[in-house]
Amino acid sequence: MPWVYTDDIVTDRRTRGIAPGTIAVLQDAERADIGLAAVNLSSRIGARLLDRNAEVEVDADWILQKLRVALAHRDRLYDAPFYRLIHAEADGLPGVVIDRFGDVAVLQPNAAWADLRAEAFADGLIALGICHVLLNASGRARSAEGLSAESRWLRGGVDAPVPVTMNGAIYLADLTGGQKTGLFYDQRPNHGFVGGLCRGARVLDVFSHVGGFALAALAGGASAATAVDGSASALALAEAGAARMGCADRFTTRQGDAFDTLTALAAEGARFDVVIADPPAFAPAKPALTAGLRAYERVARLAAALVEPGGYLTLCSCSHAAEVGKFHAACARGIGRAGRSGQLIRTGFAGPDHPVHPQLSESGYLKALTFRLMP
């Protein structure tokens, strides 16, 4: 386990005063060295393991080597520099997320140790050939670490959305004003699979953000796609992406609450060949699990009612607390309560630029279930 919770750490008067973000040697109950850890005793996660070798120095060279190892993996995966470069603990950099958009990198240092070393991360990214580095301070985890919510450019800067081509679709990522880092790379394989189901189909993409599944569906030959989201700015970016693809005449948007929109579409008698719902994390932690599963069930019920007989329904969850079995059960209940029955034809996860740490289930948070609803 790469974390030690603060409640499990034994401190004395001297170590109790360690400043957040300090690198220290972590020892077990027998005082044997476990390795180097980043310490923040004011956080729920008191120590994050950085290196098993307690003799190394966590400096700029150490950070650059971690970045190079991660880059070598992404270079094998993708022929264009658009991906998640660092996926926190799974890439050996606890609490750090870096998404790459060509010559721009968006850095989220969501742990105190990394925030203190943001300049070293920026230097390392520049050494990899990246020209612009944005420190994105919007991560929810930063408040738990006692960190600032102020985003800023560490190197360079861009003032327009960045176009990103994936699965034949063109997305526009707003790096400074959008959600998270501007785009959700984790859904790439799931976008591609669903897009392959959409030839000639009428498609509804709920919680669409900047067009996620909808634009992939258009790239796959959908006859029409409708994107639903609460954010007018996100839908405007989706429309701009569809226009760049030459698909504006097949693309429509509806701004509003997703649950209200699903209910309204059912009342209008609307039906679609493919429906996708990719909501935010309804169960971001275990205390929210019961309520979160009820919300996922409700989404499944409302969405299933809009699928044509023989059509397809994809339901997603980015809640690590809702493991795949519980999420599947909630979706199945919702489909059944809509009076429908379905075949599960695929269980999808995040792409390989989002590796999973084998001892940290939180790093494998994304699930995407695709059902065929029977005639």
Confidence of residue 5 (pLDDT cuts 50, 70, 90): confident
The architecture that CATH gives domain 60-155 is 2-Layer Sandwich (3.30)
| Whether residue 318 lies in the annotated active site | yes
The rounded distance, in Å, linking the Cα atoms of 99 and 107 is 7
Against a cut of 0.85, is the pTM above it? yes
Q: Which of 153-162, 234-243, 358-367 has the lowest mean pLDDT?
A: 358-367
Q: Are 175 and 103 in contact (CB under 8 A)?
A: no
Q: What is the pLDDT of residues 295-336, one digit of tens each?
A: 999 999 999 999 999 999 999 999 988 999 999 999 999 999
| pLDDT for 359 | 85
| pLDDT for 58 | 96
Amino acid at 213: F
Domain boundaries, the chain: 3-51, 60-155, 162-373
CB-CB neighbours of 79 under 10 Å: 6
| pLDDT for 363 | 79
Catalytic, out of 198, 247, 316, 318: 318
CATH topology of domain 162-373: Rossmann fold (3.40.50)
Which letter does DSSP use for residue 210 in this model? Answer: T
Q: What percent of the chain has pLDDT over 70?
A: 100
CB-CB neighbours of 16 under 10 Å: 9
CB-CB neighbours of 8 under 10 Å: 9
pLDDT over 80 (residue 15): no
Q: What is the pLDDT of residues 166-208, one digit of tens each?
A: 999 999 999 998 888 889 999 999 999 999 999 999 999 999 9
pLDDT over 80 (residue 225): yes
Q: Are strands 272-277 and 307-317 parallel, antiparallel or unpaired?
A: parallel
